[in-house]
Each structure stands twice: as structure tokens, then as C-alpha cells.
Amino acid sequence: MSYIYSAMILGVIGFQIALILGAPWGRITQGGQVEGPLPPSGRMVAAVSIAILMGMALAILSADGRWPGWPAWTGWMAVAVNALSMILNWITPSAPERRLWGPIMTVMFALAVAIVWL
């Protein structure tokens, strides 16, 4: 399951990279307040998100007994960040963002909980 979670994280990272490079998807990210490409500040948020997402993937892989073997608490931190992200994506004012990211973050949250809990 941790490989499925990590593959989903890679997809989200790909999305963030596209945002940094100027993809016109502002309406489906960061609250949906931007039509078209994100401004520099939004692109910086996307860059920071990549580092957080990488940490989450490594924490969940570790919780599943895989490399890099981080402490168990890091898996719980990933679950907490995933929970926050899921909630924020379900309550965003942007309907397109809710429709896209709400279900994706919910599946990722469920996977993370299952991995860390078991």
C-alpha cells in the first residue's frame, strides 16, 4: 500500500511542478483564487509543497517498514498533514478544486491511516 500512496504523491508532485512551470491551473489549487497560472508567490508555495510531499512519502514508506527507516512518529505526522490537506481541499471555496482534490486527498488519507495503523 505504501507504494500506491507514494505513486499518488508523485502524481501530486508532478502537478506542483507543472504549476511552478506556469500551467494555467490556478482555479484548482491554493483556494482557486487565481485564474490561469499562479503568481510567483503561489509558485513558491507549490515548491514548498514538493518538499513536504516528499517527506510525507518517505514517512509513509518508513511506517511500512521500507527505506529510509524513519521513526514511527514521522508516519503519524504524515497522517496529520494529510488530514489537514484533505479537510482544506473539501472546504475550499473553489468547486473545481473540491471535486478534484477532495477525493484524491481522502484516498491518500485512508491509505496513510491504514499503513500507519497496521
* pLDDT one-digit tens code per residue, 61-104: 999 999 999 999 999 999 999 999 999 999 999 999 999 999 99
Could you list the beta-strand ranges (E) of the chain.
none
- Whether the predicted pLDDT of 118 surpasses 90: no
Overall domain count for the chain? 1
- Whether the predicted pLDDT of 108 surpasses 90: yes
The pLDDT of residue 62 = 98
Q: For the whole model, what pTM was predicted? A: 0.96
The pLDDT of residue 9 = 98
**CB atoms inside a 10 Å sphere around CB 72:** 10
| Sequence-separated contacts (24+) of 62-68 with Cβ below 8 Å | 63/2, 63/115, 63/116, 64/1, 64/2, 64/115, 66/2
Query: C-alpha cell of 99?
Result: 471535486
The pLDDT of residue 47 = 98
Range of the domain at 96: 2-117
The pLDDT of residue 69 = 97
pLDDT tens by residue, 17-53: 999 999 999 999 999 999 999 999 999 999 999 999 9
Mean pLDDT throughout 99-111? 98
